[in-house]
Every structure is written in structure tokens, then in C-alpha cells.
Structure 1
Amino acid sequence: MEIITRVEAAKAGLKRYYTGKQCKHGHDSERWVYNGHCVECTLETNRRRHAEIKRLMHEASRGNAVEVI
């Protein structure tokens, strides 16, 4: 991948950029221009959240609803 700074990516209208450095969790992936977060970390977080929501919905449909505030 081509190394490009966040500022250069923003000026070019790109959504992601690549620094060539690992994130704090060890991923060597692109980062989002709008917040600087690692794309792989974002995907992992979204998978975890989706699984938790799916579990809560399943429990609620079985009558074992967990109160969520």
C-alpha cells in the first residue's frame, strides 16, 4: 500500500489513508480520515457489537429479556 498522510488523503477526498505504522492493537491496516481510527479495529468493534445485540434480541424473543437502560 502507498503511504499517505491523513491531511493528504483529506485534501484528495479519500475516506481512508495508510501510515505504514501499526495501531495500538497491532493491526497494519488503513485508517479512517474522519477520525484516524484503524479500519480493522473498527470492523472488530462492529462485529462484537452486532453479536451482543443479536444475543440480546434472541434472549428477549425467548422471554428472558434483560433490562437495558
Structure 2
Amino acid sequence: MAGTYTTRQGDAWDAIAHRVYGSVKYTGWLMENNHPHLDTFRFRAGVVLQTPDPPADSLADNMPIWRTEA
């Protein structure tokens, strides 16, 4: 699965994680591997993101704080 993902207009981190990895729980992993784009909330079309395979033990603790319950 390791590779890249080219964004569509309006893509957001969690939607991309769901599309690429099948779950929003990998949102944090996706963000960790794309530091140059961390200031982006909604993407424009054509941004190429790195999509490395997630670690086998990757769980909800990889989610960004705004996706976890307090």
C-alpha cells in the first residue's frame, strides 16, 4: 500500500486517511508523514501526499487530538 495520494479539491486529512487506509484512525499517521502540509485543513487538487504503510500496532492513539474524545 505504501505510495502516494494525490488530493482532490476539498479533501481533508480524515477523509484522505479513510480513503487510503480504510479508517480515520490513521489520520495522525498520515499527518506525521506529511509535515510540509500540516498547516492545511482543506486541500486543493493536485497535492501529492506520502502514504506509507501504517505500523501494525497503529491504533486510535495516532489520531490528532481534535479527533479524540476528552
TM-score (norm 2): 0.23
Higher relative contact order (CA 8 A, sep 6+): 2
Given the two structures, how large is their TM-score scaled by the length of structure 1? Answer: 0.23
Max Rg structure = 1
Higher strand proportion, which one? 2
